[in-house]
């Protein structure tokens, strides 16, 4: 039988996971926010250098997320959800403090890679933990709180970097992560994880995903259906300056403010998607709805030639709202797999989604020279959204699913 955990301890755990995700998102998006300012601070002033090194650094961070997702996911099933939650926080916090001291592009690349590894563990461990300690009827509310609070980290990162500059913004983010470790006392470990240890089942075996065709298909579909979130955030929003120029805007948008508006929308969207999922008792209906909205508003974004700066930022907000099915998709992943493999998949899938941005970015850049920025982004976006909707169709409905089962 699963241990009984008090309501107070459950909600303390939810809030720690939410605050951890807040710092995670702060640090994850901070580079995109201060990309231009930090590269200029290192002596790179040409538009070509800023764009090219920007792509290098964000792709390096994403590769770190891929590798970190595997490492922390396996550890989450072998050592426990809490050990990964706090191990992830301390890794990216120290890396981001060090980021504030970089003096060369080489140092920047190495530290963004290390930060990426650390940033990989928090979300998956937090979502897995919340899903397993809450009842199947209410866990949707728990993960909605985690996502809605966490995503506001990007908003705070935008405000802090604007006020204090890029180096202090890195130090502040790292400091918040270190401070969060003080809350680790009193946070509940998953009873389902403890039970799986007692039963002696094989835990955290990444190869188990690939030695069963059904598990592998679910895993791949779960990744593909969530890629549009990072198409929107990683490409359309993070590189808004370049798209603003291509749209011939009279005032060119700044990544700092575009990300602020997009993540404000993403927080609203994740809250809305979580509540809609609870009301409709469905994960898939929410995914279909938000993917459709995302495709529509991405097309509007790329067709808005000469748009005003205010309308552009409003579009970023709406694109963020439409990307708010992120938490529902990650929750669905967690619900598809057994306790002994749950942290592995819940941690690796969101990081493979983030890491898939490398493919999105490379495809966009390969097409850009022949088609142009807007047309290239449109082609990549069309492929991404069509594949995502098709992938949702292949997945089962998991709302209210009992999570007390194992993978063999």
Residue 200 forms part of a structural domain: no
Q: How does pLDDT run across 63-89, given as a tens digit for each residue?
A: 888 888 888 888 877 877 777 777 888
| Of 115, 113, 118, 62, the residue nearest 85 (C-alpha) | 118
Give the CATH number for residue 64: 1.20.1250.20
CA distance 8 to 13: 9
Q: Is 303 a member of any domain? A: yes
**Per-residue confidence (pLDDT) for residue 12, from 0 to 100:** 78
Inter-residue contact 219 to 274 (CB < 8 Å): no
Give the pair of three-digit tokens for residue 182.
């003080």
Counted residue by residue, the chain has a size of: 408
pLDDT for 200-227, tens place per residue? 667 778 888 888 899 999 999 999 999 9
Residue 194 included in any domain: no
- Give pLDDT < 70 ranges for the chain: 1-6, 183-201
pTM of the model: 0.82
Query: Coil, strand, or helix at residue 44?
Result: coil
For residue 323, what are the CA distances in angstroms to 35, 94, 102, 225, 266? 22, 30, 33, 11, 6
The answer to whether position 306 is within a domain reads: yes
**Domain membership of residue 29 as a residue range:** 7-186+205-394
Say which residues have a Cβ less than 8 Å from residue 7's Cβ, sequence separation at least 6: none
pLDDT recorded at residue 98: 94
Integer-rounded Cα radius of gyration of the chain: 20
CB 140 within 8 A of CB 11: no
- Assigned domain for 400 exists: no
Q: What pLDDT was estimated at residue 1?
A: 41
Task: For tokens 């979580």, name the residue.
Answer: 274
What is the model's pLDDT at position 334?
Answer: 86
Number of domains in the chain: 1
Looking at the domain assignment, is residue 73 inside a domain?
A: yes
Closest among 153, 208, 175, 179 to 339, alpha carbons compared: 208
Output the six-digit token pair for 93: 């916090």
**Residue 324 within a domain:** yes
* Residue 404 domain-assigned (yes or no): no
Phi first, then psi, for residue 404 (nearest 5°) are: -85, 70
């Amino acid at each position: 039988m699963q241990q009984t955990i008090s309501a107070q301890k459950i909600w303390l755990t939810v809030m720690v996971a939410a605050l951890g995700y807040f710092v995670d998102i702060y640090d994850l998006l901070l580079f995109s926010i201060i990309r231009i300012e930090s590269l200029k601070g290192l002596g790179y002033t040409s538009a070509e250098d800023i764009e090219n090194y920007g792509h290098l650094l964000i792709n390096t961070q994403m590769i770190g997320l891929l590798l970190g997702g595997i490492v922390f996911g396996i550890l989450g099933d072998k050592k426990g959800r809490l050990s990964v939650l706090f191990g992830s926080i301390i890794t990216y916090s120290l890396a981001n403090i060090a980021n504030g001291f970089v003096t060369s592009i080489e140092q920047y690349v190495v530290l963004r890679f290390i930060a990426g590894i650390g940033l990989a563990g928090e979300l998956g461990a937090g979502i897995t933990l919340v899903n397993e300690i809450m009842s199947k009827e209410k866990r949707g509310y728990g993960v909605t709180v985690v996502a809605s609070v966490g995503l506001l980290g990007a908003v705070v990162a935008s405000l802090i970097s604007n006020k204090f500059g890029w180096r202090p913004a890195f130090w502040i983010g790292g400091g918040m992560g270190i401070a969060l470790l003080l809350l680790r006392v009193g946070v509940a470990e998953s009873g389902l994880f403890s039970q799986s240890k007692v039963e002696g089942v094989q835990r955290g075996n990444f190869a188990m995903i690939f030695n069963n065709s059904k598990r592998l298909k679910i895993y791949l579909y779960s990744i593909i259906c969530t890629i549009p979130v990072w198409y929107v955030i990683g490409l359309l929003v993070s590189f808004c300056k370049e798209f603003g120029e291509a749209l011939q805007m009279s005032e060119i948008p700044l990544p700092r403010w575009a990300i602020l508006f997009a993540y404000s929308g993403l927080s609203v969207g994740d809250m809305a998607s979580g509540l809609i999922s609870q009301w409709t008792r469905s994960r898939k209906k929410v995914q279909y709805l938000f993917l459709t909205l995302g495709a529509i508003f991405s097309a509007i974004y790329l067709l808005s030639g000469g748009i005003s700066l205010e309308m552009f930022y409003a579009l970023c907000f709406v694109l963020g709202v439409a990307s708010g099915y992120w938490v529902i998709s990650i929750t669905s992943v967690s619900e598809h797999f057994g306790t002994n493999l749950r942290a592995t998949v819940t941690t690796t899938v969101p990081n493979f989604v983030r890491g898939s941005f490398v493919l999105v970015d490379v495809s966009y850049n390969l097409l850009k020279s022949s088609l142009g920025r807007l047309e290239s982004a449109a082609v990549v976006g069309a492929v991404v959204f069509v594949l995502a909707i098709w992938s949702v169709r292949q997945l089962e409905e998991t709302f209210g699913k009992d999570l007390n089962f194992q993978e063999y």
